[in-house]
Amino acid sequence: MISDSDLIAMVRAYNPNTNEALIRDAYAYGAKMHEGQTRHSGEPYFSHPVEVAALLTERWLDDATIVTALLHDTIEDTGSTYSEVERRFGSEIAELVDGVTKLTNLELNSTETKQAENFRKLFMAMSKDLRVILVKLADRLHNMRTIKHMRPDKQIQKARETMDIYAPLAGRMGMHWMREELEDLAFRVLNPDARASIIRRFITLQKETGDVVPKITEDIRTELARANIEGKVFGRAKKPYSIWRKMEEKKQSFSRLSDIYGFRVIANSEDDCYRALGVLHRRWRSVPGRFKDYISQPKTNGYRSIHTTVSGRDGKRVEIQIRTRQMHDVAEAGVAAHWAYRDGERVENPFAVDPSTWVSSMTERFDQADDHDDFLEHVKLEMYSDQVFCFTPKGEVIKLPRGATPLDYAYAIHTRIGHSCVGAKVDGLRVPLWTRLRNGQSVEIITAEGQKPQPTWIDIAVTGRAKSAIRKSLREEHRDRYIKLGRELTRVAFEHVGKKASDKALETAAKELSLTDASQLLEYVGSTELSAREVVTALYPELASKADMEPADNERPVVGLPEGVQVKRAACCQAVPGERIVGIKYKGEGVFVHAIACDALVELEDQPERWLDIRWHSGRHAATNTVTLALTIGNSFGVLGRICTLIGEQKANISDMHFIDRKPDYFQLLMDVDVRDSEHLHGVMTAIEADSDVAGLERHRDLSRKP
């Protein structure tokens, strides 16, 4: 275990003016409070707070943060109290320790409503002092480094929590090195076979080609020296999880994944960054679409760098990041740069962005959101997504999460613009509302009086702001109809477990689900934002779980059907597992499963007695769900065969094919593909759409085929 003298020496290395007596006193107090306690490994428990403090010294943090790390578990796990910590170490440190304690007590993997409330508490603690989250992240990092000593079930729980919450939060705080390590440590627990496989392939690759990192590093240094550009060059192979994620996203094997090496050029000035970029692009061919200039358009967390990918030595693709030393410090330290010391003085870094504004806005949004789900959705989108920068026709910059659509852009400008949106132009060309926007595009929204949000917009929009505004508008417009439908769906669901959906029961369920009253509960059920099953579960969890124990087979793929009733997929919308559904009773034909957004349901709005609250079984479904795809493909040799091969590679089957139109330069056809679920379908469509000879692809909907 690191001694108090060694820890003080680590702090003194960057802060000669450190308060040694304060750190020594905190070390002694923490050791005394944790005396007799041990970790799962058998080591003294106090070794953990000391290691957390040591981690924070690597970021040159101030004395108060180091002391907080030493004491962060005292109030939680020992006989120490807030008042005692305040008396011995002052109110600032007591507040920080208390903040970390509150974060430790949050159940971030609990139910969504409770999780949303806990996220709010997390942001409240962060808004008071961001050093709280720095200590908590360092605490989680050390725990993940030593996770092998925990029970297997606890390892999985902590790893999932790390992957879902703490790693993205570290990234949003600008601490990308920590995000990468947290992700990889969690990956080691959650998918050890995949990680081991990637490492084995790396070893094989190095045996075949040698270690190319030092070779490429030297190539870059040589080119910079020729241009009289001073700078440092670093190279490394990317982390196993980063490689695995790229393989999953691109649906490529390891052998086809080329940019598995990353290099950094640390230049002396911003001008040298752009000069270095020119040198690299003149020496090696740049890869189209793989250039990002975060110097002229920084990320919201202060990150600045130029990213480019080139075909380097032996044609290998390598990613290169170019930045100055100050930019690099922010990229490495993130939010920690605000409290960093060097030579006894606080470091003033002009590129460091204080994320407290973002944290405060997230806390305020919780109070403004109509419900917890809206807030939780917005938090996760904000935390887990990089951003794209688009321009208004007047040249103003609009920041949106990656994957945002023109609809999100419209709502980002103003809710009124979003509500009245009928179309969009991107770089002067008319595009569908579901188009994914990219960095640097100019977007113009087309509006019309009388236009109102459509139910399908929920699936098009990706930002919490847009989804919240759309849901609110739809609820207000269809409130009475939703309440009527919700009442019928809850009645059927309650009868399914032998209970009555009385007014008192509904009021109690609304309270359990943190809703205003029974009317809001019924409204949410009718609008499918809440399932009737969730209402039943809130009151009768044991009965609901018993009702769920039906076998997940192809004969009964859905849950919630009356005994003996046959079920079929409606041909008009071809709903697949993973999509929100509703059951409609047809006399003499049983129940047909419709996607909740199916246009055929409009005719049935006044017949709520025919609607059933059903959902897909949660198990793995067989690839027997037929979906019709409409394709427009180039009329050239081998195109159709290649598409059939792509579908086969996705483990999907083509059950039928019908040509609609044949032209000299293109074909239009309908293709029936059998898939497991919505995720499987998305993979199939992504693989097809990526082919350069596919001009158009969409799901084919045919209302004439309704039951």
Using CB atoms within 10 Å of the CB of residue 237, give its burial: 0 to 12 exposed, 13 to 18 middle, 19+ buried: middle
Angle at alpha carbon of residue 644, lines to 641 and 645, rounded to 5°: 85
Contact assessment for residue 352 and residue 327, using Cβ atoms and an 8 Å cutoff: no
d(CA 641, CA 693): 12
Structure tokens, 644? 């059939």
DSSP state of 165: I
Contact assessment for residue 600 and residue 570, using Cβ atoms and an 8 Å cutoff: yes
77 is catalytic: yes
58 is catalytic: no
Q: Per-residue DSSP letters for 563-586?
A: TT--EEE-TTT---TTS-EEEEEE
d(CA 259, CA 270): 25
Q: Per-residue DSSP letters for 94-118?
A: HHHHHHHHHHHT--TTS-HHHHHHH
Of 20, 43, 58, 77, the active-site residue reads: 77
Phi, psi of 670, rounded to the nearest 5 degrees? -110, 135
d(CA 456, CA 444): 21
Contact assessment for residue 424 and residue 439, using Cβ atoms and an 8 Å cutoff: no
Structure tokens, 193? 């076979």
Q: Per-residue DSSP letters for 34-70?
A: TTT-B-TTSSBTTHHHHHHHHHHHTTT--HHHHHHHH
Of 20, 76, 161, 693, the active-site residue reads: 76
Residues across the chain: 707
d(CA 684, CA 694): 13
Using CB atoms within 10 Å of the CB of residue 231, give its burial: 0 to 12 exposed, 13 to 18 middle, 19+ buried: buried
Write out the catalytic residue numbers: 76-77
